[in-house]
Amino acid sequence: MWAVFHKEFHSFLHSLIAYLVIGIFLVAISFFMWIMPEENILDGGYAHIDTLFSIAPYMFLFLIPAITMRSFAEEKKTGTYELLLTKPISELNIILGKYFACFALSLLAIIPTILYYISIYLLADPIGNVDTPGIVGSYIGLVFLAAIFTSFGILASAIADNQISAFIYAILGCYVIYTGFGSLATLFGAGSKADFVDKLGISYHYNTLSRGLIDSRDILYFTSVIALVISATYMSLKLNNT
């Protein structure tokens, strides 16, 4: 698995697309946080980075599919995936190696945003007057969100015939799992049914973590969805190779 991880991660770092999509992500987030009228931190007069955590999920809808789209689609197109299967490594380890490589690259996009926290920490009056527990919880939610979107991106690349299709499938899949259940819950009005449907979606659990509430049920939800999607990827590849 780690051999695949090493190969994939370094191939990303030597490609222009990785730096391009990460650069666009950071520039867009910075624009909304520091420049956008009525949205930026400086005009708001309140030391927070809530804008980062509200905008990032929608930026991830494009960032992560752009990272994952080539993982299997390109291998199948060039015929190198069949060659990879001849190596002494299981198909599950190939999937996990590619998954963790894409996830690590997603984390590289998140890490520079810590500078935003440092900035508002120093700008606060008095210094350090920020909701650090809430920010930590939001970062944990953002990491899990990237992990789930990465799993859907890997699945999309496994079932797609080319990179463009993989990119589109991943965007649609991530969008539906993030917003679809919340939108569906509104059809039930208020009550237990609406709450149940809402809790099936990512946004509910992401918003809970963003309030600084680290609940084991949210962690279990994220890990379960990731495991389920990785399993679906494995089954898809198995069916295609039989």
Write out the two tokens for 176: 């539906």
DSSP state of 33: I
Q: Is the predicted pLDDT of residue 2 greater than 80, yes or no?
A: no
Domain positions in the chain: 2-240
Q: Are 99 and 230 in contact (CB under 8 A)?
A: yes
How far apart CA 71 and CA 8 sit, in angstroms, is 8
**Residue range 201-213, pLDDT digits in tens:** 888 888 888 777 7
**Residue range 147-196, pLDDT digits in tens:** 999 999 999 999 988 889 999 999 999 998 888 887 787 777 677 788 88
Q: Are 112 and 184 in contact (CB under 8 A)?
A: no
Q: Are 96 and 230 in contact (CB under 8 A)?
A: yes
